[in-house]
Each structure stands twice: as structure tokens, then as C-alpha cells.
Amino acid sequence: MSQDVQAQAIQIDTGTTQLLCEIRERVAVITLNRPEARNALSDQLTPALRRMIRERGEDERVGALLITGAGTAFCAGGDVKGMGDNSNKKDWTYDQRVNDLIERERLLTGALTAVRKPTVAALPGAAAGAGLAIALACDVRIAAQSAFVSAGYSKIGLSGDYGVAWLLTRAVGSPIAREMMFTSARVDSARAERIGLFNRVVADDVLRSEAFALARTMANGPAVALAHIKDNLDEAAHIELDAALQREARRLVLSSRTDDHREAVRAFVEKRPPVFSGR
């Protein structure tokens, strides 16, 4: 990437060094930054990630979110070493713990799936447990050849959280999701691409540039149309065709009234790339 592009990056204060965020060319690059712990979630990283997802999802300067991990991992999930230390919650009732987890899930993977902008996960290495759920909550996953995934939960006697079973079933289907959840087996990048869990696998040394290029293309697309496309795709798995036809029709007519549609038509006639304004 050129020095000029790097100089244009806007650094965002996340409140912790465990999470980095910058905006480049309308892409919010959010980097989990605990490489010494394979970017496992923590009491500092996780709240910051929730806030960045919400704020950058609402940020008019941002057209797409790119989530990745520092070093050679994406996210190892929860910090297993700290799982036995619940001293601040030891007096909580069962219902209190359930409600607390539901809220934390809603504000992380729930919020990520709710973002009406394209989201990309770039996996330089392992994504396990909640880290797999975060990757699955993104629209597109691009991975390095050395990357792999594992559901992970059964290995530590847990059943799963952050919507991992729902997200995994939607991504790869029930039979493979069941195998992955029951066994916590490691799935390498070749198989992950073959079963549709990864959209694309690239050489390790070009992952970040390839992922950014993909996110930048979407970030600079017609924002209103892309939001409507995401609505259509999200609904496709659970509504009937007749309902889909009606909702698609409404959204297409709304898209046809945008400046971006008119610009795209002009650009097509003039044989030039369109320049979208997001309106």
C-alpha cells in the first residue's frame, strides 16, 4: 500500500491497546491486538470491540468493516485460563448469568450481523470458539492458507455461545455444523473453503492487502443499494418466495430513486467507472 494511502488513515481511539481501529478509504479496519494470547477475548478487548462495531457501523465515513487479528491468529475465542475466575459474578443467580450473557452476545455478534454495511473477516490464522462466531457473523470471510477454524467448545465442556451454532448451520449446513460442534475438530483452510465456510483462501503474505482491497471495493459501492441487498440476503433463508418478491420489489424501487443509481446509469452510458456518493 502506498505511503499516500497510509497517510490518509484516520486513527480511532478504542480505549485500549488490545483493539486497534483506523479508517482508510472508507474501510474501518478493526484489529484484535492480543497476539501473545492469539487475540483471545478479554475484559478490555471485548467491550472495545462491541463499541467499535456499533460506532463504525453508524459512521458516515465508513462504507465497510474489516475485522482481523494481529500476528498469526484471528481470535482464539474466550480466554480459557481466566474462565475459572468469576469472582465478580460468584454470587449471581442462574438467571442473572443467563441475562448477562444474552446481553453481551446481543452487543457483539448480534450487533455485527445487524450492521447494514458489508463486513469482512480476514483470518491470518486460527478462529476458535467465540472467535469463529465473530468470523461467521461477518458477510464475507477471506483467509490465509495457514488459517484454520475449530468450534472448540466441546473440548472445554461447553455448549457454545455468541450464536455459533446458528451462524455455523447457516454457513455450512446442519450435518457439517453438527460434526464441527460435537468434535471441535480442526478444519484447515482448504476444507473450510470447500465447504463454503471461507469465501476465499489466499497466500499468507497477501492476506491483508487482498482483504483490504475486497473491503474497499464494497465500501465505495452504492451504500443504499448494498444495505437493501443485505436485507434481501438476510431474509432469504427464512421467508417464502412470494414475500421475498414483494420485499425485493419495494427495495429495488427505493434504490432506483437514489443519486447512486442515476450516477451508475450515467457512468455506464459514458463508459467510465461510477463515483458513488452513498445517497
Using CB atoms within 10 A of its CB, is residue 131 exposed (0-12), middle (13-18) or buried (19+)? buried
Please state, in angstroms and rounded to a whole number, the distance separating the CA atoms of residues 69 and 32.
5
Residue 80: which pLDDT band, with cuts at 50, 70 and 90?
A: confident
Using CB atoms within 10 A of its CB, is residue 144 exposed (0-12), middle (13-18) or buried (19+)? buried
- DSSP class of residue 256 equals H
Structure-block grid coordinates of residue 231: 436485507
For residue 81, pLDDT over 80 is answered with no
Could you tell me if 130 and 151 are in contact, meaning their C-beta atoms sit under 8 angstroms apart? no
144-187 pLDDT, tens digit per residue, is: 999 999 999 999 999 999 999 999 999 999 999 999 999 999 99
Please state, in angstroms and rounded to a whole number, the distance separating the CA atoms of residues 141 and 143.
7
Non-local (6+) Cβ contacts of 22 within 8 A are 9, 10, 11, 12, 28, 29
For residue 64, pLDDT over 60 is answered with yes
pTM of the predicted structure, to 2 decimals? 0.93
Structure-block grid coordinates of residue 30: 478493526
For residue 3, pLDDT over 70 is answered with no
| pLDDT (mean) for 11-31 | 98
Residue 5: which pLDDT band, with cuts at 50, 70 and 90?
A: very low
| pLDDT (mean) for 244-268 | 97
Q: Provide the mean pLDDT of the chain.
A: 94
188-200 pLDDT, tens digit per residue, is: 999 999 999 999 9
Per the document, the length of the chain is 279
Structure-block grid coordinates of residue 71: 500476528
pLDDT of residue 89: 74
Non-local (6+) Cβ contacts of 209 within 8 A are 1
pLDDT of residue 85: 58
Residue 86: which pLDDT band, with cuts at 50, 70 and 90?
A: low
pLDDT of residue 79: 79
Instruction: Give the residue, 7 or 180, on which the prediction is more confident.
Output: 180
148-150 vs 140-144, strand pairing mode: unpaired
Instruction: Give the residue, 79 or 108, on which the prediction is more confident.
Output: 108
Residue 93: which pLDDT band, with cuts at 50, 70 and 90?
A: very high
For residue 6, pLDDT over 90 is answered with no
Non-local (6+) Cβ contacts of 61 within 8 A are 10, 23, 26
pLDDT of residue 268: 95
Q: Which residues pair with 273 in a beta bridge?
A: none
234-251 pLDDT, tens digit per residue, is: 999 899 999 999 999 999
Give percent of the chain above pLDDT 90. 92
For residue 142, pLDDT over 90 is answered with yes
Question: Taking the mean position of all CA atoms in its chain, how far away is CA 154?
Answer: 23
First to last CA, the chain: 29
Of 79-83, 94-98, 232-236, the least confident: 79-83
For residue 208, pLDDT over 80 is answered with yes
For residue 110, pLDDT over 90 is answered with yes
Non-local (6+) Cβ contacts of 150 within 8 A are 126, 127, 128, 129, 132, 180, 184, 185, 186, 187
Residue 7: which pLDDT band, with cuts at 50, 70 and 90?
A: very low
